[in-house]
Amino acid sequence: MTDIDTHALIVDGLWRRNPALVQLLGLCPLLAVSTSVVDAAALGLATLLTLLVANLAVSLLRKHISEAVRLPLQILVIAGTVTLLELLLAAWLPRLHESLGIFLPLIVTNCLILARTEAFARHHTPDRATIDALATGAGFALALLALGAVREIVGQGTVFAGLDKLTGHTEALPGISLFAAEHGLVLAILPPGAFILLGLMLALLKPGR
């Protein structure tokens, strides 16, 4: 396989083939955890990290993985990474761990990660795989962050509420309040609101493509 230009990899991951906004991969965590900026950022970072480790590992092992068992092995690598990450979060940021709940272990099933290891990492050198993981992971995290910001602002009138969960502060940080919570469009933080706002976001981005 010929090596792909770094610039093209970055543009693809972040924008042209953005996993969340173009390929619509990993919608379950994208819709479920984007109720606030902090949760969205945390899950975006966790996904990015998992993707980075998994891509790198699969790329390094690409000469040794036999064709027949490649899928179970890739899943094993991803699951191992996620387990590590989950234990680390539980130890260091227990409240964040609690807040993300089931969606942290569910990163294993995020089709975005398997898609990248299967379609990219196992054919490319570790440095390409790293760049791909960073670009794609950042593309996913940014989309998650954008949706989280919109939903938190529209739904509750705040940004960065609960930042303490991410920084490990013991006292609760209320975040920046833009308007009174009772004026928020509660629908935005409910599941249907996630679908509607993601749809509107996709529609707004469409002319830019």
Partner 1 sequence: MSEQHTRRAVDIGLLRQSTGATWRATPVIMRQVILALLPGIVLYAYLIDARVLLGLTIAVIAALLFEAMVMWLRKRPVTSRLGDGSAAVTGVLLALSVPPGLPAWQLIIGCGVAILLAKHVFGGLGHNPFNPAMVAFAVLIVSFPVTMTDWPMTADPVARVALGDPAGTWDAMTSQTPLDRYRAHARITTGDTVFTLSSPGTAWVVIALAWLGGGLWLLWMRVITWHAPVALLVSLGTCHGLATLISPTAMPIGIALLGGATLFGAFFIVTDPVSGAATPRGRLLFGAGVGVLTFLIRQFGSWPEGFAFAVLIMNAAVPLIDRLDRPRVR
The binder of partner 1 chosen from 68, 182, 204, 208 (CB under 8 A) = 182
190 part of the interface to partner 1, by CB under 8 A? yes
184 part of the interface to partner 1, by CB under 8 A? yes
Question: 84 or 196: whose CB is closer to partner 1?
Answer: 196
Question: 111 or 187: whose CB is closer to partner 1?
Answer: 187
Task: Kindly report the backbone phi and psi dihedral angles of residue 190, in degrees, each rounded to the nearest multiple of 5, phi listed first.
Answer: -90, 160
Min separation Cβ 156 and partner 1, Å: 11
Say how far apart CA 128 and CA 137 lie, in whole Å.
Answer: 14
The binder of partner 1 chosen from 84, 87, 172, 186 (CB under 8 A) = 186
Instruction: Give the gyration radius of the chain's Cα atoms.
Output: 18
DSSP of 140-203: HHHHHHHHHHHHHHHHHSEESTTTHHHHT-SSPP--EE-S-GGGS-GGGGSHHHHHHHHHHHHH
187 part of the interface to partner 1, by CB under 8 A? yes
The residue ranges that bind partner 1 (CB under 8 A) are: 182, 184-188, 190, 196, 199
